[in-house]
Structure 1
């Protein structure tokens, strides 16, 4: 899906990959609110697809006339509602573990806001240089943040897939938030780890620099599929 407007263009796609039987990823684009989201249901747990789709369904119901100042507050409230709905379903299924990562981008005229839990990521490309805006809530992500691992080393770590936060899992939902400015020419990438397993920052930067908006999501998905496609993969690219 590629959509254009006078202010922003975006491309969004999710793919089941080459191995999984169910797509536990879900994506959401609400350009009228300046809001985009990627959610990755927890692999290996019952109901990961339920969790990610619950997040998307509840965010989809946000009022269409929210002001930019109200969007982030409403989104945080909606994620809390999704957290409780997922917990309720987990209890109904016999207290199994159900959860999903989330990374959310909200844009106003001059600023971006990011909310996230888990290891789905937000990047910004500015002046042909990529910056990771979010930080992974995972065992290896925290080791990287502490300077004990590099991202290259983290890729082969035995606990590489273990996340430490997710919507629906812990008693209290813990979300991180980051805010920054936006400039004409900025390009944002939201993605699940089904992409970053196969594409390092250098690869992402090269493609984000070179690819037009109507091809970029398909081309990034292709990187994951050509690499093996062992996981679901989701990509949203938003141009300023």
Structure 2
């Protein structure tokens, strides 16, 4: 079983300065080595329903004896939630919401092993050896344009639909999840966050915050920096320190 006492975490969400409601949800369970951020799809009704359902279902998962089993359980949970959102909740006369979807990024930790599972553009970062690494790769049109058409970041950002998601839980009947496994080193710090946060905070400022000594200090610095800006979207982050 994972060493629950090894991990310290902090989580926070804020609606930002523009959005009337918060469609982000987080899960902060250091005692189970389980954390998540879900960001309801902006521009669609029911985004808050989707993100809350993802987190509620993850929170109810039984604690499996090893991280491989736990990873499979998380993926099965997200696939089941996707079916529920894309079929039952979206296509019913009682719920004329249309597409009800959300990003999801999940982190599992046990001993010296970590698994990150995601769909959408909520991110997982790692701070190691005074360097910031983006572990997840966005499932967005912006990233697809960069990957497939080899255009610059600025050119991709200029596309009118740059923020459109290419994957999300609930957006289509078939969900494709991406999974990354890695070995954990002592001193590692992880950050899960919605796009509302990382769009307001530069990579340099992210790194400066992640180098602080506790998850609470990191969180305070991140939100201080994000809320100085326009904060046009909901902001959510979970910080996990060893």
TM norm structure 1: 0.92
For residue 42 of structure 1, what is the aligned residue in structure 2? 41
Pairwise CA distance, 1:162: 0.8
The answer to whether the Cα contact below 8 Å between 1:90 and 1:98 also exists between their aligned partners in 2 is yes
Partner of 1:62: 61
Summarize deviations over 1:22-56 as a string: whole Å, max 9, x none.
10000001222211100000011010000000101
Alpha-carbon offset, residue 95 of structure 1: 6.6
Give secondary structure in 2 for the equivalent of 1:91: coil
User: For each residue in 1:111-138, what CA deviation from the matched residue of structure 2 results, as whole angstroms up to 9, or x when unmatched?
Assistant: 1111110000001010010111000000
For residues 1-240 of structure 1, what are the structure 2 equivalents within 5 Å?
Answer: 6-64=5-63, 66-87=65-86, 88-92=88-92, 93-94=95-96, 96-146=98-148, 148-151=150-153, 154-210=156-212, 212-240=214-242
Q: Give me the whole-angstrom Cα distance separating, in 1, the residues matched to 2:58 and 2:22.
A: 19
Seen in structure 2, the aligned counterparts of structure 1 residues 153 and 40 have a Cα distance that, compared at 3 Å, is same
Q: Distance in 2 between matches of 1:217 and 1:33?
A: 21
CA deviation string 1:80-139 (max 9, x = no partner): 121122121111223711100011111111111111100000010100101110000001
**CA–CA distance in structure 2, aligned partners of residues 11 and 150 of structure 1:** 35
Question: C-alpha offsets along residues 195-233 of structure 1, whole Å, 9 cap, x if unaligned?
Answer: 111122222111111353222113212222211111001
Hey, what's the Cα distance between the residues in 1 that align with 2:101 and 2:130?
Answer: 35
Shift of 1:155: 4.4
CA deviations 1:161-194 (Å, max 9, x no partner) are: 2111000011101100111111000010100000
Question: Structure 2 length as normaliser, TM-score?
Answer: 0.91
5+ long unaligned stretches in structure 2: none
Instruction: Please report the RMSD computed on the Cα atoms of aligned residues, expressed in angstroms.
Output: 1.8
Which stretch has the larger CA shift, 58-67 or 228-237?
58-67
CA 1:152–1:40 in structure 2 vs 1: closer, same or farther (change >3 Å)? same
Q: In the TM superposition, what is the alpha-carbon distance from 1:72 to its structure 2 partner?
A: 0.8
Q: SS of the counterpart of 2:62?
A: coil
Q: Distance in 1 between matches of 2:223 and 2:152?
A: 25
For structure 1, the residue ranges without an aligned partner over 5 or more in a row are none
Query: Does the 8 Å CA contact 2:46/2:97 hold for their aligned counterparts?
Result: no
Give me the whole-angstrom Cα distance separating, in 1, the residues matched to 2:238 and 2:63: 21
Aligned length: 236
